Amino acid sequence: MNCLQNLPRSYALPFHGFKCNPRKPFSCSINMMGGKNSGDIPRSMEVKAISGSTSSEKRSSSDSEEGKSEIYSHNMTEAMGAVLTYRHELGMNYNFIRPDLIVGSCLQTPKDVDKLRKVGVKTIFCLQQDPDLEFFGVDIGAIQDYAKKCGDIEHIRAQISRDFDSFDLRMRLPAVLSKLYKAINRNGGVTYIHCTAGLGRAPAVALAFMFWVQGYKLGEAHRLLLSKRACFPKLDAIKSATADILTDLKKELVTLTWEDSKCSTVEVSGLDIGWGQRIPLKLDKEHESWTLQRELPEGRYEYKYIVDGEWTINEFELLTTPNKDGHINNFLHIVDNDPNSVSAVVRKRLTSENPDLTKEERLKIRQLLESYPDEE
């Protein structure tokens, strides 16, 4: 297996850090409108709260929620590489992607269950983790109890544990899609898929379901999704998860090196840990360099160094294409040693620009979803 990490010139030259600002996300301002919308929506929308007389207590609560929304939106923007805005204080918002599939933000009170029942929802599929719920003070137990009391709608949780994390999404998709597939077969009707903001995890799960089960090409499903809801699903995670199912998943030991013994700390972010975490490199005093060894599955990974607290790229390692603001990351691509092997050919096709599945591949995925062990 090869790790396409270093530029051809890099093995002949020492690694030196090229200082730059952290990669700036491209601008894709997303302020979603609450409520049902079965038609197209503009990519950028501004939503204003209705003004009126409120008590000081309500204003204080609203200010607190607005502050939390700002923090959450900032974290999304940093982690997802796009300017994403979520306003929890405006209530639940959603969009019909298909007549039987809705993607939206989280339910906030049991009353939201009734709103979804009115539009034919039979399955509420919640991808939130407990810290998401605690952050905004959502009482998930009350929502679940009310849904159970109604008797005509099922509330299901399938947590994706690391928010905004492409690698975690990749690893979790088979288990999550299995639970979703079984629920839809059991309940029929309309399915409501949500995370917290409905901008990352939920669109990705809906997109994977359309690709794996409903017969869409991935690009076709992606275009339909974006025509209905402005969002930012991680396409690479879906492609890699698909290839993982249909090929033999291999791993490679990767070594990252930073040539500079004078700095105090060197860390790396991205890779398989997400942008919200960092791994320290170890100082090799003999070679005056910092190194990190990590075993990674096949796939493409972006990362960045943090040297003495400053986000930095290594100009002698592979670099992404500059985004619209001119900012870049390092990346590496782990591939099979034999590019002509059946597994390598299939993975290359499934991680291409607009992959499609054969009838046999889609059947194999459905069989996996049906047989996948149920989670608690």
Active site residues: 195
Instruction: Please state, in angstroms and rounded to a whole number, the distance separating the CA atoms of residues 106 and 103.
Output: 10
Question: Distance of CA 96 to CAs 26, 131, 192, 201, Å?
Answer: 26, 27, 9, 16
Biggest alpha carbon distance in the chain? 69
Residues 6+ apart with CB under 8 A from 205: 125, 127, 160, 173, 176, 177, 180, 193
Count how many Cα atoms sit within 13 Å of the Cα of residue 350 in the half-sphere of its side chain. 26
* Residue 279 and residue 294 in contact, taking contact as beta carbons nearer than 8 Å: yes
Question: Distance of CA 361 to CAs 354, 366, 372, Å?
Answer: 16, 9, 16
Residue 319 amino acid letter: L
* Residue 233 and residue 222 in contact, taking contact as beta carbons nearer than 8 Å: yes
Q: Give backbone dihedrals phi and psi of 226, rounded to 5 degrees, phi first.
A: -70, -25
Alpha-carbon 201 to chain mean position: 5
Q: Give backbone dihedrals phi and psi of 246, rounded to 5 degrees, phi first.
A: -95, 0
